[in-house]
Structure 1
Amino acid sequence: MSETTSEPLPPAVLWKRLLAIVYDSLIYMALAMAYTALVLFIQVQISGEPAPGERASMGTLGFIGLVFFLSSFCSFCWRAKGGQTLGMKAWRLILVNEEGKKPSWGQCYIRCLLAPIMFCLGGIGYFYALIDKESRTLHDIFSKTRMLQLPKSK
């Protein structure tokens, strides 16, 4: 619901959602680089330097940790920062559950895990919003959340 009126907020349009993702991806890349540097630093401290010609690798456990770290960052933004990442703030988007309230941690993690999969499948999960009457993506539907457009501030 809008804070100034009792009218419900409209669903976010796909192009704004995608632009928010582009903005957020820069933050995620920086976080991923910092996480990777920390993991590799810890590995070197525990195991020593890689042999000459051997590449450093986080391994499967490090990758799972990275996914958890980035998902936790996103979920924290949606739960504790008013339902918005920085990219969403720039485009005045907000994430809510189906009742219009703050999404649960579970809903946030489901979105975080499904959204990249939907993107990697040719964007089908995102493009579903073009045919859905409520402009929902598939990860909106599966996580029982909605992305809404906030009004311009006066």
Structure 2
Amino acid sequence: MQRRFGNLDDVWPAGLARRVGAMIYDAFLVVAIWILFTGLHLLFVRHVLGIPAEQVAVGAAQVLSLRLLLFVAAFTFFAFFWTRGGMTLGMQAWRLRVQTIDGYTITLMQSLIRYLVAWLSVAAFGLGYLWILFDSERRSWPDIVSGTRVVVLPKPRKNSPR
């Protein structure tokens, strides 16, 4: 179930620099997840399927299954955070949040669309994210196609001394 975020008047569209910072942070986390799943895949291939070490990653089925596993693992990471609170760990560090245009958490389908178009945006030499520089609302291709937007959250207010 989608929930509405509060203080929508206090947020503004995120620029390219903040987004890239969050992407780099999240990339380290995704690589760590990929290392874990690659190890699990290797254990499965070697010990459950009984394939000898010299035959690991030789067949197309092994290569494709690993690639699919890594693709799904990364999607699961992003979808989990985006649909729950709108922020991955990297986005939290940079005070970014993904939300619907109306200020709600995004759906699983919107997460899937964002994820797929993000890969396309990067594959197009980053053009999908450079689009932010030319869009009046600072939207990237994943934002436009999925009907979402990435906003900057204000700094938390410090407690005033009493």
TM-score of the aligned structures, taking structure 1 as reference length: 0.90
* Counterpart Cα distance in 1 of 2:10 and 2:144: 19
* Counterpart Cα distance in 1 of 2:97 and 2:91: 7
Matches within 5 A, 1:80-119: 80=84, 82-119=85-122
Look up the equivalent residue of 1:32 and give its one-letter code. Answer: W
| Equivalent residue, structure 2, for 1:46 | 48
Deviations 1:49-101 (A, max 9, x none): 4354x453642122112111110111101112x11011100010000012110
TM-score of the aligned structures, taking structure 2 as reference length: 0.86
| Equivalent residue, structure 2, for 1:16 | 18
* Counterpart Cα distance in 2 of 1:36 and 1:137: 31
| Equivalent residue, structure 1, for 2:34 | 32
Question: Residue 64 of structure 2 is aligned with which of 60, 65, 69?
Answer: 60
* Counterpart Cα distance in 2 of 1:2 and 1:112: 22
- The DSSP-based 3-state class of the residue aligned with 2:9 is coil
C-alpha deviation, 1:48, in angstroms: 2.0
C-alpha deviation, 1:113, in angstroms: 1.4
Indicate conservation of the 8 Å contact 2:45/2:56, yes or no.
Answer: no
Look up the equivalent residue of 1:100 and give its one-letter code. Answer: G
| Equivalent residue, structure 2, for 1:74 | 78
Alignment RMSD (CA, Å)? 1.9
- The DSSP-based 3-state class of the residue aligned with 1:103 is coil
* Counterpart Cα distance in 2 of 1:61 and 1:19: 31
Indicate conservation of the 8 Å contact 1:129/1:137, yes or no.
Answer: yes
* Counterpart Cα distance in 2 of 1:51 and 1:30: 23
C-alpha deviation, 1:110, in angstroms: 1.0
* Counterpart Cα distance in 2 of 1:62 and 1:99: 38
Q: Sequence identity, in percent?
A: 33
- For structure 1, which runs of at least 5 residues remain unmatched after alignment? none
- The DSSP-based 3-state class of the residue aligned with 1:7 is helix
Instruction: Tell me: CA distance 1:28–1:20, structure 2 relative to 1, closer, same or farther (3 Å).
Output: same
* Counterpart Cα distance in 2 of 1:51 and 1:71: 29
Deviations 1:103-130 (A, max 9, x none): 0000001111111221121110001111
C-alpha deviation, 1:3, in angstroms: 4.2
C-alpha deviation, 1:46, in angstroms: 2.4
Q: Following TM superposition, where does structure 1 have runs of at least 4 consecutive aligned residues deviating by more than 4 angstroms? A: 1-4
